[in-house]
Chains A and B, each alone.
Chain A
Amino acid sequence: MVNLLSKLCGKISPLSIKEYKESGGFEGLEKAIFKMSPKEVIDEVKNSNLRGRGGAAFPTALKWNFVAMENSEDKFVICNADEGEPGTFKDKVLLDGCPFQVIEGMIIAAYAVGANKGYIYIRGEYPKSKEILISGVKILQEEGYLGNKILGKDFSFDIEIRSGAGAYVCGEETALIESIEGNPGRSRFKPPYPPNKGLWGKPTLVNNVETLANIPVILSIGSEEYKKYGTESSTGTKLLSVSGRVVNKGVYEIEFGTTLKEVVYDICEGMEEGKKIKFVQLGGSSGACLPESLLDTKLDFDELRKLEIGLGSGAVLVVDDSICVVDFVKNATKFFDHESCGKCTPCREGNKHIIKILDNLTNGEGTERDLKLLNEIAMVMKQASLCGLGQAAPTALLTTLKYFEDEYKNHIKYNCPAGTCSLKEGVAINV
């Protein structure tokens, strides 16, 4: 475990500007706006190799550069605080523990890309975090960190807080933008991408909470020092949200390069008494399910890419052997079915058909053909869905079909090894 990004969370009073400044707060911002040009700020972020922490791991400086290059009077910076990926609760720790750090990141981003207005889109399920952010913004307006001529410089930027209303898809940046505009959160066709045409058709930078919280750190310690954390391909640290059947659940900051085994057995002190590990789902419900044999995998973008999986939001769900894989995947697919915005056919229909087939399997009516169909539907969704929701929805299905194929096949033979789906104790209820 390390203490770089989250070092102030729980250590200072979240809304005390005095304590924040005494702990080095706003050093990054002051350095940026007094000593650096917007381009130098982007170069510093580029040199740090920071990649987006929301799930897609897109190079942050590249995104910033797209927005900076646009010629427009109005540009927007949006902080994506719609933390909806099941099993993810790390942004809440940053928002509640050190809201000024996230906002400082936004101000620096605005300076770098030339934006004058920002929004924090916070999910409706976090009413308390929303209140903290509203108070935080108000304090910074009074202190001259937000508003006209920030710290006396010819740079103006203000922030408004917007609430989500319970829609997972709004974590996708174009759906989020639709929601801020007051519409149902349905993803847009891309291109154009938000840096080109985003909120109200203007160039818009959308960054995740954790990504933005990294910015003041990079600016204040410098990108060279920052790069000492993590690995060559994945610099810095990552917040993991660990849940499931481990002894110590919670949010932990780790350096890239840490293995899943270290996370489960060292940091979280292993499995609960009497529980045996079956698999770890990495990156939330849209993430891959990795069997015990892959626990030595390093959490590193390149290492994970070799397995054709991603780190996602950094959620680590540790599942024990009392859970039926088929039923687990069905439960995850029901989530995506519920959250699908319905705009594109592969996602809207695909989830429904997957559930139907998995129902067959857990009811003892599955056939070999069903397994083939599951693969086909999943591939269509992955390749043809409009946004990340539909593309990633079948990840758990595809990875369990790969690593736990036998368990699916057992269900065809009326046998659930875990015994927790409706095929109880090897006897199909409906046959």
Chain B
Amino acid sequence: MTKTENVLRAIEEAGNTEDKLIEVLLKVQERSRENYITENQLEEISQELEIPLSKVYGVASFYSLLSTHRRGENVIQICNSGPCYVRGSRNVVNMFESALGIKMGEVTDDGKFSLEFTSCIGSCDVAPAAKINEEVCGNLDKKKIDEIINNIREGVK
């Protein structure tokens, strides 16, 4: 899908009024392989919705589900809010970092994974938890984490 086509389709689905900006940004990002909104796309959205680029960028950078930086094909978000912290989210961070060979906020060289923090995802009953793309994975330990990464690498859903 060309870049413009992606933006036009997102606007067609979400609507072209000013208040639909967040929905449009979410949809554009959803279709991007690298899970972010490019500078070009921000400009296109600005033109199509007739919203100043500064505001489009302002909104895209305000919300943490939206990214204006390249991310991995698979985004791993580790919850570091209270309940997960109490049940050892720090160890989960260390385990993901060493399994992937990257630090929080980085993308693997092959572009497959990126690691970031997230605020509470409402899975506190299975803490420590992380969100891998749209899926929540709870009760994380080393075995589970290795399994998750291997499954993605081998293309198992």
Measuring CB to CB, which residues of chain A are less than 8 angstroms from any residue of chain B? Answer: 83-89, 92, 124-127, 162-168, 179-185, 241-245, 249-251, 281, 284-285, 315, 317, 319-320, 323, 328, 331-332, 334-335, 338-339, 341
| Residues of the B chain whose Cβ atoms lie less than 8 Å from the Cβ of A88 | 120, 122, 124
Closest 9 CB pairs of A and B: A166-B65, A165-B63, A86-B81, A243-B124, A166-B64, A184-B62, A86-B120, A243-B83, A89-B122
Given contacts A92-B122, A166-B119, contact A125 B127 (CB under 8 A): no
CA distance A167 to B65 in the complex (A): 8
Given contacts A124-B26, A184-B59, A249-B125, contact A87 B64 (CB under 8 A): no
Q: Select the residue from B64, B86, B127 with max chain A CB neighbours within 10 A.
A: B86
Measuring CB to CB, which residues of chain B are less than 8 angstroms from any residue of chain A? Answer: 17-23, 25-26, 51, 55, 58-59, 62-66, 80-83, 85-87, 118-127, 131, 134
Q: Determine which of A180, A241, A320 lies in contact with B19 in the assembled complex, contact meaning CB atoms within 8 Å.
A: A180
Do A85 and B120 touch (CB < 8 A)? yes
Do A182 and B119 touch (CB < 8 A)? no
CA distance A304 to B25 in the complex (A): 42
Do A319 and B119 touch (CB < 8 A)? no
| Residues of the A chain whose Cβ atoms lie less than 8 Å from the Cβ of B21 | 182
| Residues of the B chain whose Cβ atoms lie less than 8 Å from the Cβ of A181 | 18-19
CA distance A125 to B124 in the complex (A): 13
Do B125 and A250 touch (CB < 8 A)? yes
Nearest-neighbor residue (CB-CB) of B20 within chain A: A182
Nearest-neighbor residue (CB-CB) of B24 within chain A: A182
Do A84 and B86 touch (CB < 8 A)? no
| Residues of the A chain whose Cβ atoms lie less than 8 Å from the Cβ of B121 | 125
User: Shortest beta-carbon distance, A416 to chain B, in Å?
Assistant: 15
| Residues of the A chain whose Cβ atoms lie less than 8 Å from the Cβ of B19 | 180-182
CA distance A332 to B86 in the complex (A): 11
Do B124 and A285 touch (CB < 8 A)? no
Do A86 and B119 touch (CB < 8 A)? yes
CA distance A163 to B82 in the complex (A): 24
Do A182 and B22 touch (CB < 8 A)? yes
Do A89 and B62 touch (CB < 8 A)? no
| Residues of the A chain whose Cβ atoms lie less than 8 Å from the Cβ of B64 | 165-167, 338
Do B23 and A163 touch (CB < 8 A)? yes
| Residues of the A chain whose Cβ atoms lie less than 8 Å from the Cβ of B81 | 86-87, 285, 335
Nearest-neighbor residue (CB-CB) of A90 within chain B: B122
CA distance A221 to B126 in the complex (A): 35
Q: Determine which of A125, A244, A338 lies in contact with B87 in the assembled complex, contact meaning CB atoms within 8 Å.
A: A244
24 contacts between A and B (CB under 8 A): A85-B120, A88-B124, A89-B122, A125-B121, A163-B26, A164-B22, A165-B25, A165-B26, A166-B65, A167-B63, A180-B19, A182-B18, A184-B58, A243-B86, A243-B127, A244-B87, A249-B127, A284-B82, A317-B86, A317-B124, A319-B86, A323-B86, A331-B80, A339-B119
User: Shortest beta-carbon distance, A30 to chain B, in Å?
Assistant: 33
| Residues of the B chain whose Cβ atoms lie less than 8 Å from the Cβ of A127 | 134
| Residues of the A chain whose Cβ atoms lie less than 8 Å from the Cβ of B124 | 86-89, 241, 243, 249, 315, 317
Given contacts A125-B122, A243-B125, contact A166 B63 (CB under 8 A): yes
User: Shortest beta-carbon distance, A195 to chain B, in Å?
Assistant: 21
| Residues of the B chain whose Cβ atoms lie less than 8 Å from the Cβ of A165 | 22, 25-26, 63-66
Q: Select the residue from B58, B85, B134 with max chain A CB neighbours within 10 A.
A: B85
Given contacts A285-B81, A328-B85, A335-B81, contact A179 B119 (CB under 8 A): no
Do A335 and B86 touch (CB < 8 A)? no
Q: Select the residue from B18, B22, B121, B123 with max chain A CB neighbours within 10 A.
A: B22
| Residues of the B chain whose Cβ atoms lie less than 8 Å from the Cβ of A167 | 62-64
User: Shortest beta-carbon distance, B117 to chain A, in Å?
Assistant: 8
Do B20 and A89 touch (CB < 8 A)? no
CA distance A243 to B59 in the complex (A): 33
Do B83 and A317 touch (CB < 8 A)? yes
| Residues of the A chain whose Cβ atoms lie less than 8 Å from the Cβ of B120 | 84-88, 285
| Residues of the A chain whose Cβ atoms lie less than 8 Å from the Cβ of B83 | 86-87, 243-244, 317
| Residues of the B chain whose Cβ atoms lie less than 8 Å from the Cβ of A338 | 64, 119
